A and B are shown apart, each in its own frame.
Chain A
Amino acid sequence: EPEVTQTPSHQVTQMGQEVILRCVPISNHLYFYWYRQILGQKVEFLVSFYNNEISEKSEIFDDQFSVERPDGSNFTLKIRSTKLEDSAMYFCASAGQGGGYTFGSGTRLTVV
């Protein structure tokens, strides 16, 4: 069964450092998303991406965040200057037209 792959599985970074989280969505999916989940809490929407551009973003997705699909397969989330409150599990998801999401296994980001 096709999978969404995320790397790394766990990243520890110092406050103020830049991090890049990587995702390889399912190849024939058209819609790509980043969500985050703070431990034990709900899954929060960050950004949706379609046709090589951001289609919608949340209030959380401020100027410190950016997304790219640099080579047609990878889908990256960059946080320019991490804060303590960015510590969370970050999930990438992809979907086909009108279908459910397939989530990746997540990257646990710990900012110290």
Chain B
Amino acid sequence: QQPVQSPQAVILREGEDAVINCSSSKALYSVHWYRQKHGEAPVFLMILLKGGEQKGHEKISASFNEKKQQSSLYLTASQLSYSGTYFCGTDGSSNTGKLIFGQGTTLQVKP
């Protein structure tokens, strides 16, 4: 089942913060986050495993609450380069590494 992302779209000014949420109705083993710029392939940002782990990548970090089956992506002091569509991917009980992606959250950072 497809994870649900919120919000669907965010518009920010440079330097502002944003949070993107990803929820699943199924138990999760891991959550992946990707960013896709228009006309390009999705690019891997980070993977979070069971255990409430929090990870960081530049000024982008994420958390994973396995009990709530939720993950959140935090973008701090956003830059113009952060603009794009963010997808979470969840693997549920699959042991094939297959990911099911959310519908995406479009982030636009304005000067």
Give the complex CA separation of A95 and B97 in angstroms.
8
Q: How many A-B residue pairs have CB under 8 A?
A: 58
Give the complex CA separation of A41 and B101 in angstroms.
11
- B-side contacts of A98, CB under 8 Å: 47
Residue A42 contacts which of B40, B43, B45, B102 (CB distance < 8 angstroms)?
B102
Enumerate A75-112 residues with CB–CB distance to B below 8 Å.
Answer: 91, 95, 98-106
- A-side contacts of B87, CB under 8 Å: 42-43
Q: Which chain B residues have a beta carbon within 8 Å of chain A's beta carbons?
A: 2, 32, 34, 36, 40-47, 87, 89, 94, 96-104
- A-side contacts of B47, CB under 8 Å: 98-100
Indicate if the CB atoms of A102 and B104 lie closer than 8 Å: no
Q: Which chain A residues have a beta carbon within 8 Å of chain B's beta carbons?
A: 31, 33, 35, 41-45, 48, 50, 55-56, 91, 95, 98-106
Nearest Cβ distance between residue B108 and chain A, in whole angstroms? 15
- A-side contacts of B36, CB under 8 Å: 43
Residue pairs across A and B with Cβ atoms less than 8 A apart, 14 shown, are A42-B101, A42-B104, A43-B42, A43-B87, A43-B101, A45-B98, A56-B96, A91-B41, A91-B42, A99-B47, A101-B32, A101-B99, A103-B41, A103-B42
Nearest Cβ distance between residue B74 and chain A, in whole angstroms? 18
Indicate if the CB atoms of B100 and A100 lie closer than 8 Å: no
- B-side contacts of A102, CB under 8 Å: 44
